[in-house]
């Protein structure tokens, strides 16, 4: 009798491990295919597999000496593509932009307020450009030092969609935690605690999308 229970438990464990391995394989194979070919393939299955196996997939990538951030990049790309059409239908006033504190210039004169860094558009970093654009389109912009500030932002201003800028892990966490809201994200080009960088054009392109649709370029925005 005892042997039967042990056998049954063993079989359940083996089946569980096999299912997880299959989901990890789906996450990586479909995900890499999607990244390289820039198209969606069974996106809901992929999202389900990523959500269920995220920590295990990360550990496995590390064990195999592979890029641990691969699963974050796959997840961000998937969410960007999945939400893009919904994002195009939104009004700018229903959108917020969440930027990381580390994007500010080293000698930033802004002070930290209740809703994050209060940029004064001094022109020393990209944040000032994004702030000008957000003010023009009435998009809420928040420069936050951490995820706890995002919860504060959610209490302060209702929004239907968020554009996030962060390193792959933080951005993926942000986009995942904000589900089912519409999210779009741009990954930092250079990581770190200060003077990080993002492709400004990528963020400006995203800010141009919500209605009214605009086509501002960085040079035009800097001349506002
Ligand atoms: S543009 Fe804004 S965030 Fe950047 S350094 Fe100036 S005040 Fe700080």
Q: Which residue has the higher pLDDT, 155 or 35?
A: 35
Domain boundaries, the chain: 2-68, 89-222
How many angstroms does the Cα of residue 7 sit away from the middle of ligand 1?
A: 63
Encoded tokens for 147? 């995820």
Mutation pick for ligand 1 pocket among 101, 104, 123 (CB with most ligand atoms within 8 Å): 104
Q: Which of 7-11, 110-114, 135-139, 146-150 has the highest mean pLDDT?
A: 135-139
Name which of 136-150, 159-173, 207-221 the model is least confident about.
136-150
Question: Which percentage of the chain shows pLDDT scores above 70?
Answer: 99
Nearest atom in ligand 1 to 107's CA:
5
The whole-number average pLDDT for the span 109-131 is 94
DSSP H or E run through 118 = strand 116-118
Ligand 1 neighbours by CB, cut-off 6 Å: 104-105, 108-110, 119-125, 127-128
User: Helix %, strand %, coil % for the chain, to 5?
Assistant: 60, 15, 30
pLDDT in tens, 67-112: 999 999 999 999 999 999 999 999 999 999 999 999 999 999 999 9
Helices (H) then strands (E): counts for the chain: 8, 6
* Cα 209 to Cα 165: distance, rounded to the nearest angstrom: 16
How many angstroms does the Cα of residue 192 sit away from the middle of ligand 1?
A: 17
The whole-number average pLDDT for the span 13-35 is 92
């Amino acid at each position: 009798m005892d042997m039967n229970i042990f056998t049954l438990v063993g079989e359940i464990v083996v089946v569980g491990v096999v299912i997880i391995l299959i989901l990890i394989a789906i996450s990586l194979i479909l995900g890499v295919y999607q990244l390289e070919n820039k198209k969606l393939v069974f996106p809901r299955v992929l999202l389900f597999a990523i959500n269920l196996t995220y920590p295990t997939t990360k550990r496995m990538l590390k064990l195999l000496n592979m890029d641990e951030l691969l699963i974050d990049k796959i997840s961000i790309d998937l969410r960007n593509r999945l939400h893009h059409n919904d994002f195009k239908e939104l009004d700018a006033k229903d959108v917020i932009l969440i930027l990381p504190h580390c994007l500010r210039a080293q000698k930033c004169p802004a002070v930290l307020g209740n809703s994050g860094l209060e940029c004064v558009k001094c022109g020393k970093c990209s944040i000032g450009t994004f702030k000008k654009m957000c003010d023009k389109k009435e998009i809420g912009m928040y420069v936050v030092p951490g995820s706890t500030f995002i919860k504060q932002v959610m209490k302060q201003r209702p929004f239907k969609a968020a554009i996030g800028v962060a390193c792959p892990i933080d951005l993926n966490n942000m986009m995942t935690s904000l589900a089912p809201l519409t999210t779009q994200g741009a990954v930092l080009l250079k990581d770190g605690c200060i003077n990080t960088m993002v492709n400004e054009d990528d963020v400006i392109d995203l800010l141009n999308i919500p209605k009214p649709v605009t086509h501002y370029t960085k040079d035009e925005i800097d001349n506002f």
